[in-house]
Amino acid sequence: MAKTPQDFLATLDREVLLSDGAKSSVWYSQGLKPANYAEQNISNPENVIKLHLDYINAGARIIETNTFRANRLQLARFNLESSVKEINGAGVRLVREAIRRSGREDIFIAGAVGPLGALVKPYGNLTLAELGQIYQQQIEVLYEEGVDILVIETHPSLLEALEAVRAARTLDTRPIVAQMTFLEDGLSKFGDEMRRSLEALAAADADVVGVNCGMGPSHMYNHLADFLRKTDLRVCVQPNAGLPQSIGGREVYLTSPDYLREYARIFVETGANIIGGCCGTTVEHIREMAKAVTGQVPRRKRSRVQVVSQATSNSLKDRKVKHPFTEKLGREFVTTVEIDPPAGLNYQPLIDQARRLLEQGIDAIQVTDNRMARVRMSSITFAYLLQLETAIEVILHFICRDRNLLAIQSELMGAAALGIESIIAMTGDPSGVGELPEATSVFDVNAAGLVRILRGLNQGITLAGRDITIPTKFKIGASVNPAAPNIEVELSKLQEKIDSGVDFVQTQPVFDIDLLERFAEKVSKCNIPVIAGLLPLKDDRHAEFLHNEVPGMKIPDWIRKRLSQAQNPADEGIAVSREILDIVRRLFAGAHIISADDPMVVEKLLLPQIEKKVANSTSLI
């Protein structure tokens, strides 16, 4: 019977699991020195199967594929970059064959993903987008071949480890074990602190976090013990067999199997969920560790480590915000409505308007940010007040026009502290188009740059690489124009935003149904939820104004003709929007109703949806 993600996590919550030990150092001790140990998957498969089988017979329940160094960059050093699919695919099949020969059915296949062995800018030449693409190439093969879980391991940089987790999450929902390597001072090679790194990986949606390699069991225990006792995160521990010593020109690990068995017992008692071995550990080490691990129940305490600031939890302690947009996005059709902040200090009428909209089944309210370069109340402040008083999720528009790089990051952290979790990154209209043409536009970055800043904050770092101690948890959106003069250029810009970390995209309003269908076909290749903009037309004058005076806005002749001939143009405008909404429901992940100053317009537009909900509710009585 095929395993599900729930099988692994359910097993992990009722028993401590033993992972396997080292591979490369075992083969090195046997005198094998291939160019890249992963290459053995195709050149010496029986040797790989034998080691997997030995670890299974020793008591390991998690067997990692021999793919630790099987990404494109690592393989390129040995002219094997064209063999990524072949080597990784074979790696999974060899574990499966070892399991078949063992006759066991309780073994989990773990796809091993190691660091790329190259530095990210500004330390090296790789961009984050390139980093993600290289990880995805390897991980996609491991998933296609049917691994049960993914083990992202031995990463010396939190930035790279987070990128690997993100790359995996864009492909699949299978359990992820994310591990980093730390030195004996408790810091990674790049200065990342252990506790914060593990919490950041968990916040990035890793199911298990942990430490492997870099140090022996004693130092690993000293740095992890307090964390293990207090966290409710699932934790994996895989120490080396001590530090290697050079004997006769060879690197030899001298830590005994008995010593590792004793530390395995200590790690179980302290609260580890997975225990295994890294460099220098052998089948004998794992066999002894099995005596301390097999059949043990997790002993970690359930005192949750909150990944929020104290100030946030205090200021929002009485607010229970519903998140239908976040929960439904990409799974069910979502509907949002846009509201501008007030032009003055009286925001209560807009709160009342939002409540009326929510009664009509809206999943979230979008708050604009000084739209059309006109002065309004701070969008962050109004978004907070709106979310506080209505208990509904708010999606904040955030523009680059009015803020330099310092203010952008400062205000985004402030928004996170106030509980704002969804942001749409926008460049913004130039100040010259608004009511204060003498105002200065900043534009230190554009929307794509803003996305990268948001993603960095989600990883716990500023643009300068400074640790902000607690990562933000923004769901990041971006805009796209289906009616752009050059759609290929527009899609290229969209892909750049996606590569930078966008979770969903939102279109400008489009009235041309043929254009919408063509755009839907093109954007489907991007594999990201798309929310279509919908602008209800008030009458024929409104349609003519948009068509003739608003750049990029074209209203088809058939719509303008219908409105001009209608006895009630407002109702006809709603009817047209409803027809477009029916098309949008078929093609996209959601609809965003723009500039709906009158809640009655939204109610009329969504009337069939509201009536259906009422009917369903009545049928259940």
Using one digit for the tens of pLDDT, what is the confidence trace for 76-88?
Answer: 989 999 999 999 9
The pLDDT assigned to 323 comes to 80
Cis amide leading into 122 (omega within 30): yes
As a whole number, mean pLDDT of residues 264-270 equals: 95
- pLDDT more than 70, % of the chain: 89
Q: 61: pLDDT confidence band, cut at 50, 70 and 90?
A: very high
Residue 304 has pLDDT above 60, yes or no: no
Residue 67 has pLDDT above 70, yes or no: yes
Token pair for 529: 């939820």
CA distance 179 to 114: 10
As a whole number, mean pLDDT of residues 549-572 equals: 88
Token pair for 596: 């709906």
Alpha-carbon distances, residue 446 vs 366, 400, 529 (angstroms): 20, 6, 22
The pLDDT assigned to 270 comes to 94
CA distance 285 to 55: 10
User: Is residue 384 within 8 Å of residue 425, measured between CB atoms?
Assistant: no
CA distance 487 to 597: 31
CA distance 244 to 490: 54
As a whole number, mean pLDDT of residues 68-74 equals: 94
Residue 437 has pLDDT above 70, yes or no: no
Min mean pLDDT across 253-257, 328-332, 564-568, 597-601 is at 597-601
Helix, strand, coil tally for the chain in percent (to 5): 45, 15, 40
Residue 615 has pLDDT above 60, yes or no: no
Phi/psi at 583 (5° precision): -70, -45
Q: Is pLDDT larger for residue 282 or for residue 527? A: 282
Q: 273: pLDDT confidence band, cut at 50, 70 and 90?
A: very high
Q: Coil, strand, or helix at residue 521?
A: helix
Average pLDDT of the chain is 86
Residue 309 has pLDDT above 50, yes or no: no
The pLDDT assigned to 621 comes to 35
- Each residue's pLDDT tens digit, 202-246: 988 899 999 999 899 988 999 999 999 889 899 999 999 987 666
Q: Which domains does the chain have, with CATH numbers?
A: 5-293 (3.20.20.330), 310-537+589-602 (3.20.20.220)
Give the residue among 162, 130, 119 at the shortest CA–CA distance from 499.
130
Give the residue among 517, 606, 580 at the shortest CA–CA distance from 335.
606
CA distance 125 to 114: 19
CA distance 339 to 593: 10
CA distance 41 to 151: 18
- Each residue's pLDDT tens digit, 415-427: 999 999 999 999 8
The pLDDT assigned to 316 comes to 40
- Each residue's pLDDT tens digit, 353-364: 888 888 888 899
User: Is residue 545 within 8 Å of residue 553, measured between CB atoms?
Assistant: no
Give the residue among 265, 292, 136, 267 at the shortest CA–CA distance from 211.
267
The pLDDT assigned to 34 comes to 65
Residue 524 has pLDDT above 70, yes or no: yes
Give the residue among 612, 611, 601, 606 at the shortest CA–CA distance from 334.
606
SS3 for 581-618 is HHHHHHHCCEEEECCCCCHHHHHHHCHHHHHHHHHHHH
The pLDDT assigned to 313 comes to 38
